[in-house]
Chain A
């Protein structure tokens, strides 16, 4: 029986799958025991994000590219559907539980708009947004894996300079609230969907069942994120925290930054990374994507694509820009676009417009960067 398990590919795959499930359960149990049940739940939610995004091949950068290059709106329509579902639950929850729950609310400003534009461009260069870079890295994509540490360093640097950039000029935080706010949000999403359908190529306007399922699953996980953590789904804060912890561990003094000198930042730098919500969901997304890729028959045995040197340089630069710009923009496609709009922040709408404009530039840069895999 033992020899059969080693020689039969089916038995090997089955054993690997059992190991993946057992490993995930053990890690979640350890986090629950050593850190606390809320943090174990957040890790589980993060795993869910990773499984849904990688398992159902759902993302943000790819559908934007499909709309811009081929006028195929289905992917973005699914994103809007997911945001609308979250909004329908989040608006009443936020209204009924102020303090316990907070939305992804941030001010609109010059740096915020510029940051969103740059992020939209950079995410098209590497074809990976905030969540996409994590999922790509976990599933063994070399571009995602290289971009990720530079994304984290960029996020740290962006946070370090955030107050200087924000002081260049920003409006007060503008938020849609309650039933009227929800109605305006849903009408806005419907108008964008209508515009995309109008521009979209005939025959490509229908959202596939896979996309609908992914949109609803993501919405369920995003609501769970809000209920468990008290704050919406985000990505970028955790990445910057990892780099900041690393820099601080090497003896750097971060008190020169208004951001890192703030009381809350100091507390989080000194606390365990396993108590940071965005870190936990980020860990879960990477691990969930790894699990799905390993689960698939042959998913991890694909050879790596070959790229020229300029493609790796473009990946490093885009990684840094993804991190830096998303801090100035008060979030990436997850924290600003998805969670911002779903919890009533007007900066989410402005982020969407600016990042989508940036995506046009990013697609052009990608075409000359050498990142299109060689045939």
Chain B
């Protein structure tokens, strides 16, 4: 077995995560924020490992 098998497994894992999640929580492009947070006038709302839950 070579690294190609493992690399392909990792990529398949990504496809699985995104695929299953998309079935459960489909994205809505009409709710998309502006391209850049900088200058958007909106507060940040993403999850971050350094932040306590809000």
Contacts of A163 in B (CB 8 A): 52-53
Measured CB to CB, the nearest residue on chain A to B43 is A99
Measured CB to CB, the nearest residue on chain B to A239 is B49
Q: Are A93 and B35 in contact (CB under 8 A)?
A: no
**Closest CB of chain A to B5's CB: distance in Å?**
7
- Binary flags per residue of A78-117, CB closer than 8 Å to B gives 1, else 0: 0000000000000001000101111011100000000000
Known contacts A101-B38, A273-B17: A300-B7 contact under CB 8 Å: yes
Of A140, A226, A276, most B-chain CB atoms within 10 Å? A140
Contacts of B4 in A (CB 8 A): 140, 294, 300-301
Q: Are B37 and A228 in contact (CB under 8 A)?
A: yes
**Closest CB of chain A to B26's CB: distance in Å?**
7
Contacts of A331 in B (CB 8 A): 49-50
Q: Are A345 and B50 in contact (CB under 8 A)?
A: yes
Which residues in window 5-52 of B have CB below 8 A to A?
A: 5-7, 9-11, 13-14, 17-18, 20-22, 24-27, 29, 31-52
Q: Are B53 and A265 in contact (CB under 8 A)?
A: yes
Q: Are B34 and A38 in contact (CB under 8 A)?
A: yes
Q: What band does the interface of chain B fall in when counting residues whose beta carbon is under 8 Å from A?
A: 35 or more
From A56-64, A208-216, A256-264, the one touching the partner chain is A256-264
Contacts of B37 in A (CB 8 A): 38, 100-101, 227-231
Q: Are A35 and B14 in contact (CB under 8 A)?
A: no
- Whole-angstrom CA separation of A263 from B39 in the bound complex: 26
Interface of A: prevailing SS: helix
Known contacts A100-B38, A234-B49, A258-B53: A138-B29 contact under CB 8 Å: no
Q: What's the tally of chain A residues with a CB closer than 8 Å to chain B? A: 86
Q: Are A278 and B49 in contact (CB under 8 A)?
A: yes
Q: Are A270 and B44 in contact (CB under 8 A)?
A: no
- Whole-angstrom CA separation of A104 from B27 in the bound complex: 27
Q: Are A100 and B39 in contact (CB under 8 A)?
A: yes
- Whole-angstrom CA separation of A263 from B47 in the bound complex: 12
Q: Are A304 and B44 in contact (CB under 8 A)?
A: no
Q: Are B27 and A347 in contact (CB under 8 A)?
A: no
**Closest CB of chain B to A30's CB: distance in Å?**
10
- Binary flags per residue of A241-270, CB closer than 8 Å to B gives 1, else 0: 110010001000000001110111100101
Query: Does A356 sit within 8 A of B, measured CB to CB?
Result: no
Contacts of B26 in A (CB 8 A): 272
Q: Are B3 and A237 in contact (CB under 8 A)?
A: no
Q: Are B49 and A36 in contact (CB under 8 A)?
A: no
Q: Are B22 and A229 in contact (CB under 8 A)?
A: no
Listed by A's residue number, 24 A-B pairs whose Cβ atoms lie within 8 Å are A35-B27, A38-B36, A93-B38, A100-B38, A100-B39, A100-B43, A105-B50, A137-B10, A140-B4, A145-B6, A145-B9, A234-B49, A234-B50, A237-B48, A249-B24, A258-B53, A260-B53, A262-B54, A264-B47, A270-B25, A272-B27, A273-B17, A273-B25, A275-B27
Known: A245-B24, A345-B50. 19 other contacts (CB 8 A): A38-B37, A99-B44, A101-B37, A101-B44, A138-B7, A140-B2, A163-B53, A166-B52, A226-B38, A231-B46, A237-B47, A242-B17, A264-B54, A271-B25, A272-B27, A275-B27, A286-B11, A299-B3, A300-B3
A-B pairs with lowest CB-CB distance, top 8: A36-B32, A140-B3, A230-B37, A262-B53, A230-B44, A140-B7, A272-B27, A300-B4
